């Protein structure tokens, strides 16, 4: 089973233009990156998981993705405290001690609130990216980018990248099984470093296989006269319709609401519940 694989479903999300989904993703991601308001992060998370349900994307397919993301978030959480244990108190201008560990490593409500906000900041972007990858046809997305004057050579490279994610994952699974059949054990029965060395041995043939695939695709494109003309037509082009306008209006409303909260309520990027 591949992790990032476009598969068509007859849902309102799938029927949207690739350009609409890109603009919506950029707008919502921009809101998340700018603000440090935990209320906005929670809203984006709920909104994103609602879209996942509407798009009929089963969460069981994303267990491995959520596992890796969770590990990254936990590591980031502790490293942020290790290198900046009092940054939250500087941001919110107060210090409410919970308990002290040693030296300047005090655990305060301000620091804890800041780090939880930062964790949700990163976590809220992940579902948006998943929705975009799972519901966007690479060829249709490339044609949408070309309509906003992105050179078709660039858009075609983007389409090839998205389209070959599943192929690379299938190739890795095939090589991994072949290596295990030869005695390279990467199961949980062996030590971590043993699994790591065997995983590296699996990656080497995958790299050579990917380079060979790139060479084949390049030769095929060259023989078909790719880039001979300044423009090209697209078989998978999908024009923007009324649902696209509604979707963009919703995203703009979220952006406007977040901007109003930042300007008139928070008076800045940070939501401070300690004042």
Tens digit of each residue's pLDDT (9 = 90 or more) over 112-168: 999 999 999 999 999 998 888 888 888 887 887 777 778 877 887 777 777 777 777
Distance spanning both ends of the chain, measured CA to CA: 50
| Domain match, 209 and 270 both | no
Give the separation between CA 271 and CA 258, rounded to whole angstroms.
Answer: 11
| Distances 268 to 99, 210, 245 between C-alpha atoms, Å | 29, 47, 30
Residues 6+ apart with CB under 8 A from 153: 227
Q: What is the pTM of this model?
A: 0.78
Which region among 23-32, 211-220, 252-261 has the lowest average model confidence (pLDDT)? 211-220
How many C-beta atoms lie closer than 10 Å to residue 134's C-beta? 21
Instruction: Taking each helix axis as running N to C, give the angle between helix 38-54 and helix 242-260, from 0 to 180 degrees, rounded to the nearest 10.
Output: 160
| Domain match, 21 and 131 both | yes
Residue in the structure block whose two tokens are 């596992």? 67
Name the residue with higher pLDDT: 168 or 68: 68
Give residue 22's domain range: 1-137+238-275
| Domain match, 65 and 188 both | no
| Distances 250 to 12, 32, 119, 174 between C-alpha atoms, Å | 14, 16, 25, 43
241 φ/ψ sector (left φ>0, alpha ψ -120 to 50, else beta): beta
Q: Answer yes or no: is 142 within a domain.
A: no
Give the CA radius of gyration of the chain.
23
Q: How many domains does the chain have?
A: 2
| Domain match, 15 and 73 both | yes
Helix (H, G, I), strand (E, B) or coil at 97: strand
Contact 176, 195 (CB under 8 A): no
Band (218; pLDDT cuts 50, 70, 90): confident
Band (4; pLDDT cuts 50, 70, 90): low
Q: Beta partners for 108?
A: 97
Overall size of the chain counted in residues: 275
Band (1; pLDDT cuts 50, 70, 90): very low
Q: Answer yes or no: is 155 within a domain.
A: no
| Domain match, 116 and 9 both | yes
pLDDT value at residue 186:
66
pLDDT value at residue 238:
79
For residue 105, report the phi and psi dihedrals to the nearest 5 degrees: -85, 70
């Amino acid at each position: 089973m591949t992790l990032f694989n476009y598969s068509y479903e007859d849902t309102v999300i799938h029927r949207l233009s690739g350009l609409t989904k890109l603009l919506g993703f950029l707008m919502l991601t921009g809101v998340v990156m700018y603000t440090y308001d935990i209320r906005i992060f929670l809203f984006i998370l709920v909104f994103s998981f609602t879209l996942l349900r509407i798009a009929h994307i089963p969460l069981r397919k994303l267990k491995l993705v959520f596992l890796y993301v969770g590990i990254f978030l936990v590591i980031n959480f502790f490293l942020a405290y290790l290198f900046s244990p009092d940054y939250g108190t500087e941001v919110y201008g107060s210090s409410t001690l919970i308990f002290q560990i040693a030296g300047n490593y005090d655990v305060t409500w301000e620091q804890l609130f800041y780090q939880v906000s930062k964790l949700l900041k990163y976590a809220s972007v992940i579902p948006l990216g998943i929705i975009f990858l799972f519901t966007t046809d690479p060829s249709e997305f490339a044609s949408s980018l070309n309509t906003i004057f992105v050179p078709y050579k660039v858009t075609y490279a983007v389409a090839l990248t998205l389209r070959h994610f599943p192929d690379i994952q299938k190739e890795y699974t095939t090589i991994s099984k072949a290596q295990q059949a030869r005695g390279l054990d990467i199961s949980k029965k062996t030590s971590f470093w043993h699994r790591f060395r065997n995983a590296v041995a699996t990656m080497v043939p995958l790299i050579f296989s990917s380079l060979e695939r790139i060479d084949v695709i390049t030769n095929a494109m060259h023989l078909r006269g790719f880039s001979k003309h300044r423009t090209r037509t697209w078989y998978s082009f999908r024009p923007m319709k009324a649902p696209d306008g509604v979707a963009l209006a919703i995203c703009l409303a979220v952006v406007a609401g977040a901007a109003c909260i930042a300007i008139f309520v928070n008076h800045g990027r940070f939501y401070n519940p300690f004042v």
